[in-house]
Amino acid sequence: MLTNRQDAYGHQLYDFYKGQPVIECVERDDGYIDPSPTLPEYYLSEYKDWTHREKKAVPYAKGRVLDIGCGGGRWSLYLQKKGHDVLGVDISPLAVKVCKLRGLNNVMVRPISEIDSRLGKFDTILMIGNNFGLFGSFKRARQSLKRFYEMTNPGVRIIAESLDIYKPPVDPLHRRYHLRNRKLGRMPGQVRMRLRYRTFATPWFDYLLVSKNQMRTILQGTGWKINRFIDGPGPAYVAIIEKEVFSRSSGRFHKRN
């Protein structure tokens, strides 16, 4: 559970919801600072303002939906209005408060590490807004995906967004950071970062950005496979990920026909 002083994301979201001007500031562990005045608006955006890739991805949602890192609840609220049973989860207490104020029926404070079968079974898992990155590392991604396999119904889909760090043009400063990560035994796009807003700052955390090939490698042997990628302008993309069938006789996963 984040303390009030650590909930920088929640404070900026709540202030923006209340009509105050907000600038999000991302700080990387090499000293790089990235301020953004537009992201808070994106976190609360309506369907008409979504990216083309998001509009193409949302029809893949079905059944009972788990929205991991739901933020301001934009996808959760949209799907709730469409009649889906939606559960939003976020590590930020104030983000959860904003979701409730905006009308999301089911939302709770819960880190990704504590998402398990106690929440019930799901037909769709959302990881939108580059939230594939919440896995944090190669190892934790595979551990979480195996856990998700056990808490989901047959035919489930994961709708996950990430950012291909190799797609040009690549800022030389980012390229040096990727090379530094390799030397440290980390994935190139494993970003150590924190969010800052006014006097609030989150704890440092790892955020994993992966190429399509890296995502495929992470999925191997976890019970999940890529159905398709949805691209847009720039390096961001959405992956539609589907469940494989586990054969008890062979002890292996097989693609569903």
* Neighbouring residues of 38: CB distance < 8 A, sequence distance ≥ 6: none
Can you give the pLDDT at residue 257?
47
| Residue 150 in domain | yes
Q: Which domain holds residue 214?
A: 8-254
Higher pLDDT, 256 or 33: 33
On the question of pLDDT at 160 being above 60, the answer is: yes
| Residue 1 in domain | no
**Per-residue pLDDT tens digits for 38-80:** 888 899 999 999 999 999 999 999 999 999 999 999 999 999 9
Please count the structural domains in the chain. 1
- Average pLDDT over the chain reads 95
pTM: 0.94
| Residue 181 in domain | yes
**Per-residue pLDDT tens digits for 183-218:** 999 999 999 999 999 999 999 999 999 999 999 999
**Per-residue pLDDT tens digits for 96-112:** 999 999 999 999 999 99
| Residue 209 in domain | yes
Beta pairing, strands 65-68 & 122-127 = parallel
The three-state secondary structure class of 176 is helix
CATH of the domain at 88: 3.40.50.150
| Residue 82 in domain | yes
For the record, the structure tokens of 1 come out as: 């559970």
